[in-house]
Amino acid sequence: MKKTIKLISALVVVLIVSAFTLAKSNNDTGYKIGNVAEDFSLKNIDGNMVSLADYEDAKGFIVIFTCNTCPYAVMYEDRINALNNKYASKGYPVIAIMPNNTSVQPGDSFEAMKQRAKEKGFTFPYLIDAQQTVYPKFGATKTPHVFILQKGDGLNIVEYIGAIDDNYKDASAVKTKYVEDAVDALLNGEEILHTETKAIGCSIKA
């Protein structure tokens, strides 16, 4: 009886330690500033597969993990469109990726994505991470969550991670436009002032 109790106690300790280790490991995953981002091939709302390699003339990318159903993401839709309209022609197109499990979030289904893009007039590709293999590599945890990449020697280097700006509630009240400031710095050959900020949004549904 005593041996059984000791064994159970030992197992509990192991499980607790493992849980903390796993949690720490999960928090440490994903790209950091300066890392090379792997390319991917994901289905766009037009049915075509899209990869970063398709954009031969791009200087970099504004990769944004977003979705239809998160209120935060919805509040940023017009601003995401504006980012693409401003920077795609300068070599930094927006690549939007929907990372949620559609079984958990039916409102983020592929058909719903197509409908939302049509309603909002998205000017950028809106890709679905159907197998949920891309967002964990980036370390995305929220919608929206931004990763700015810069191309160099055939590689895509992570230069910024975080939020679009400092006010999700009101675009007119924004004081610091993190993404615009970062892309402008890259275009001008300057250092990015804020390379990492806290992404504010809904948790990605696995």
Higher pLDDT, 81 or 154: 81
Q: Sort strands 60-65 and 145-152 into parallel, antiparallel or unpaired.
A: antiparallel
Mean pLDDT across the stretch 75-97? 97
Please, which residues have CB within 8 angstroms of residue 112's CB and are 6 or more apart in sequence?
68, 106
Supply the pLDDT for residue 16: 32
Task: Check whether 23 has a pLDDT greater than 70.
Answer: no
Supply the pLDDT for residue 143: 98
Q: Sort strands 142-143 and 145-152 into parallel, antiparallel or unpaired.
A: unpaired
Distance CA(197)–CA(23), nearest Å, equals 21
Mean pLDDT across the stretch 20-48? 77
Distance CA(10)–CA(12), nearest Å, equals 5
Mean pLDDT across the stretch 101-116? 96
Supply the pLDDT for residue 105: 93
143 phi, psi to nearest 5 deg:
-125, 115
Task: Check whether 46 has a pLDDT greater than 80.
Answer: yes
